[in-house]
Amino acid sequence: MSDEKIFENILEEVKKKKEHPRLLLHCCCAPCSSACIERLLPFFNLTLYFDNPNIELEEEYEKRKQELISFAKIKQVDVLEEKYNPTSFQKISKGHEKDKEGGARCYLCYQLRLNNTALTAQKLGYDYFGTTLSISPFKNSKWINEIGLSLQEKIKIPFLVADFKKKNGYQRSIVLSKEYGLYRQDYCGCSYSKIEREKKKNDKRNEQK
């Protein structure tokens, strides 16, 4: 069964409930979250969770966090934020500094952020936990859902299986970002993705010479 079909089945089950279940939704940034929020609000009592220790600089972390908070206010959704603490990402990156984007280091990063989300959901008594990460065409939704389901078994709280890039989800996030004037980034946040982005830009400039 596809991730999208599983997602739709979960929504059908949620529809049967008398009250909207509480969902703790990990968010990487406001632009990616925009289309996910739009799709989930009719079904869940949402709380957005901002915890992204992969982001290289505190200034960038705060900029992305504040943009999410501002957008959440417009949508009347609560935000739960964590303080900037890049140490955990630095630890899991050791030995993976030369990995390509989309490789093992990214898997460990998904795992780190989803684990933090799952434990927070368990601590605060949420009915579901999930993430917006799968909306990006550069993120491996199979890995994300695999990690989420593994954590579901450990904490006994359902993980919201999803591939938000489906049904033009990513394209919708671009439209909404323009509509609300959201600060949009062209790299995930870590120093490794930033370096790779700059390399691609330089390569493109050199090709045009």
Average pLDDT, the chain: 93
| Confidence (pTM) | 0.93
- Dump pLDDT digits (tens) for 144-192: 999 999 999 999 999 999 999 999 999 999 999 999 999 988 778 888 8
Q: What is the mean pLDDT of residues 107-118?
A: 98
3-state secondary structure of 50: strand
Confidence (pLDDT) at 195: 73
- What mean pLDDT do residues 192-206 have? 71
pLDDT greater than 70 at residue 65: yes
- The DSSP-derived string for 69-135 is HHHHHHHT-EEEE----THHHHHHHTT-TTPPTTSHHHHHHHHHHHHHHHHHHHHHT-SEEEESGGG
CATH 3.40.50.300 given to domain 3-208: no
